[in-house]
Chain A
Amino acid sequence: MNPSLVRRLLWLPSALLLALIGAPLVALLWRTGVTALGQGLANPLVGAALRTSFATSVLALVLVIALGTPLAWLLAHERGRLGSWLELLAQLPVVLPPSMAGLSLLLAFGRRGLLGPLLESLGLEIAFTQKAVVLAQVLVAAPFYLQLATAGFRGVDERYVQVARTLGSGPWRTFSRITLPLALPSILAGAALAWARALGEFGATLMFAGNLEGSTQTLPLAIYSALESDVRAAQALSVILLAVALVLLVLVRTFGPKRGAA
């Protein structure tokens, strides 16, 4: 078979998969339309969920970056078995079913959870509060940030770092002037993906944080709730999330590591 025929044949399965991915999105936009989008957005559920989602996901992103950047640097430089085990642990939430993550969060941080008594003695209530929403988002979003930030740090050529050090630059200056700028595209891409994932978090939030309008009801939970009363509102919320996800993904592709790199 000649290569061009192979290429043409490859389109057959590819088109099927692309149709499967594209059809739901087209259907969502088609069935919602502009008028229904307006009517849906007028639903009081929407504003409250937008505020909740924005506040919690931004906080989750700050936490992911603050705690994830040091870990990503360590993972990039930790050689040997410990490093690979830690990396495995850090990647685990990607493949966990969200409902399982939510239940485990309850069993860990709930009242009767493993850390329940400790948290209670500190006067901290987590489950069914916005703290729980943020925690669930950090759990599911962190792996995406870690993966890209670690790859970014790994991609920094050690020779640049060594040259800077031999020229008398201190460790912090070397990090902020050499390592960080070189790893920045990956770090930003990781942050955007992590934010998108945090915004989309549903299962773990539902189980660990509950579903209360104005408090723990994020956009995905509002879609779930709106489906039971006002399908238009559910569709409008879905369109919002689709738009945000698209913007974030485009940002990742524009400013993130160039294809073939990383």
Chain B
Amino acid sequence: MTFDTTGREGRSVRMSLWSRRRALAVLCLAWLASPRVSAEDPKPIRVFAASSLKEAFGVLARAYPHMGGVPVELQLAGSQELRTQIEQGAPCDVFAPADLAQLKGLDARGFGEPATFARNALTIAVPLGNPARVRALADLSRVKRVVVGAAEVPVGAYTRELFERFQARLGAAARGSIERNIVSREANVRQVLAKVTLGEADAAIVYRTDAQALQGQVEAVPIAPELQPEITYPIAASSAAGRAFVEFVLGAAGQKALRDAGFSRPDEPPGRK
């Protein structure tokens, strides 16, 4: 933990100082000589999207430049995390969180009126082979480890809504018997799902599209439509280039990619596909 401070201190310091200066000079020259981004290169747009949009927006981001659009830099994380980044000044042209609440107050950052571009539903994800034989939401009362999203992130807020609807039908005791088994509340839906793929969770509440994206690693057990909360995805842009991308998402090609990933149309009733 301590350093030898005796010996040829002065000399080695002087040498390192010289070499430091030289290194600094080389760095400055390299920076000056490095090519600037040329004017012809289209400026990429930054798209912030909820974790659950990973596959669908991955497809969209790759397709957009081929359809006359500019390159897309995609940032995927929990909606709340992305919102915090935007509030802290992260440059962002398009924001597509998993619920409308995350866009509230962002008009101060230049974001326009949001449009709804997709719907989703919740599902129960279980490990392959469904070892705990989960058939419906009520079965979560008899498994050992349930993982859900944190209440602050959209998937967690939707899960709470689901539990409230469940409670309205089956009572507070039934809800309590499920919530007792929750061992972790994760910061985004993909972290929730990872606990199932690792075999650590017996069951997890995720979006239908996430279970579909990880087909072959998890199994999905549907949740009854009457229990489903309404899950809509808003999208808003803060720049002209961003608005063009939003049009693309709302257009035929964008909507097809979203259908393929398992999302429902914005006008469809929830819980159905």
Q: How far is A10 from B21 in the complex, measured between Cα atoms in Å? A: 12
User: What 1/0 flags go to B174-186 for Cβ under 8 Å of A?
Assistant: 0000000011111
User: Contact between B2 and A211 (Cβ–Cβ < 8 Å)?
Assistant: no
Does A131 have its Cβ within 8 Å of any Cβ on chain B?
no
Closest to B186 in A: A211
Q: Is the interface of A mostly helix, strand, loop or mixed?
A: loop
User: What 1/0 flags go to A108-146 for Cβ under 8 Å of B?
Assistant: 001110000000000001011100000000000000000
Contacting residues, chain B, for A260 (C-beta < 8 A):
2, 5
Most chain B CB inside 10 Å of its own CB: which residue of A1, A9, A211, A228: A228
Closest to B21 in A: A9
Contacting residues, chain A, for B5 (C-beta < 8 A):
260
CB A234 to nearest CB in B, in angstroms, measures 10
Most chain B CB inside 10 Å of its own CB: which residue of A3, A127, A215: A127
Does B17 have its Cβ within 8 Å of any Cβ on chain A?
yes
Q: How far is A261 from B151 in the complex, measured between Cα atoms in Å? A: 51
User: Contact between A127 and B200 (Cβ–Cβ < 8 Å)?
Assistant: yes
Q: How many residues of chain A get a CB closer than 8 Å to chain B's CBs?
A: 33
- The residues in B between 136 and 194 inclusive whose CB is less than 8 angstroms from any CB of A are 144-145, 147, 150-153, 182-187
User: Contact between A210 and B147 (Cβ–Cβ < 8 Å)?
Assistant: yes
Closest to B83 in A: A228
User: What 1/0 flags go to A243-262 for Cβ under 8 Å of B?
Assistant: 00000000000000001111
User: Contact between B200 and A212 (Cβ–Cβ < 8 Å)?
Assistant: no
User: Contact between B200 and A225 (Cβ–Cβ < 8 Å)?
Assistant: no
Does B13 have its Cβ within 8 Å of any Cβ on chain A?
yes
Does B215 have its Cβ within 8 Å of any Cβ on chain A?
no
Using A6-B13, A262-B1 as known contacts, say yes or no to A211 and B185 having CB atoms under 8 A apart: yes
User: Contact between A110 and B200 (Cβ–Cβ < 8 Å)?
Assistant: yes
A–B complex contacts, Cβ < 8 Å, 13 sampled: A1-B14, A106-B198, A110-B198, A112-B200, A125-B144, A210-B147, A210-B195, A212-B183, A212-B185, A227-B84, A228-B187, A229-B151, A261-B2
With A110-B200, A210-B186 given, name 18 new contacts (CB 8 A): A1-B14, A10-B13, A106-B198, A112-B198, A112-B200, A127-B200, A129-B183, A147-B1, A209-B184, A211-B187, A212-B185, A216-B183, A225-B150, A228-B78, A228-B84, A228-B187, A259-B2, A261-B2
Binding site for A on B (CB under 8 A): 1-2, 5, 10, 13-14, 17, 20, 78, 80-81, 84, 144-145, 147, 150-153, 182-187, 195, 198-200
The list of the 3 closest CB pairs from A to B, nearest first, reads A210-B184, A228-B152, A128-B183
